[in-house]
Chains A and B, each alone.
Chain A
Amino acid sequence: KNQVEQSPQSLIILEGKNCTLQCNYTVSPFSNLRWYKQDTGRGPVSLTIMTFSENTKSNGRYTATLDADTKQSSLHITASQLSDSASYICVVSAKEGNKLVFGAGTILRVKS
């Protein structure tokens, strides 16, 4: 069964600290993976997309990694800011059936 599991479910960190969010998937055959950021009361917004051949991609203080062999992705946030407080959703695209599989998300809270 195609699944996406994210960990941790929630995380609290101090402003300025780094953190890493995990995404493990069983989607096969894999097409690509995208991380979304969802602020409270808003719709998800794309942060970065990873294709099968990419290992690392950065978007400012956000760095996503992908290991297609172990079917794992991570989102690393550097020097966190209060505005990073949000839910981060991992979404995996399956080649067959044009299907998207959504993770439940990690809720990040950055404290001052």
Chain B
Amino acid sequence: NAGVTQTPKFQVLKTGQSMTLQCAQDMNHEYMSWYRQDPGMGLRLIHYSVGAGITDQGEVPNGYNVSRSTTEDFPLRLLSAAPSQTSVYFCASSYTLGGFPYFGPGTRLLVL
């Protein structure tokens, strides 16, 4: 099993640009989530999904959109990037809602 995979590994954007961070898992987990990690802070939940077609907001959802058309994929969209969105983004999946997640390798995003 590949586990949780993310692409790209690193991305540079200009303010106002849009992009999609890709995430896929092959563990047949119903629950998937996106976190951002900033220096000196714990991982913060952006959005999560409890199954295909069902998504909900986490702690810091503003500026991000998600969709879940299949069990395997959970992309994160930045519609208009801002410097405050410079961060490392982790996709994760788990067996249960609130269960401890398996994390992907991360995407490092720099917004200029």
Contact = CB atoms under 8 A, between A and B. Distances in A.
Q: Do A and B come from one complex?
A: yes
Contacts of B44: 102
Contact of B90 (A31, A43, A91): A43
Given A99-B98, A100-B98, A4 B103 contact: no
Interface of A: 4, 9, 31, 34, 36, 41-46, 49, 89, 91, 93-94, 97-105
Interface of B: 4, 40-45, 90, 92, 96-106
Given A100-B101, A102-B43, 15 more contacts: A36-B103, A42-B106, A43-B4, A43-B103, A44-B43, A46-B102, A49-B100, A93-B99, A93-B100, A97-B98, A98-B97, A100-B100, A101-B42, A102-B44, A104-B42
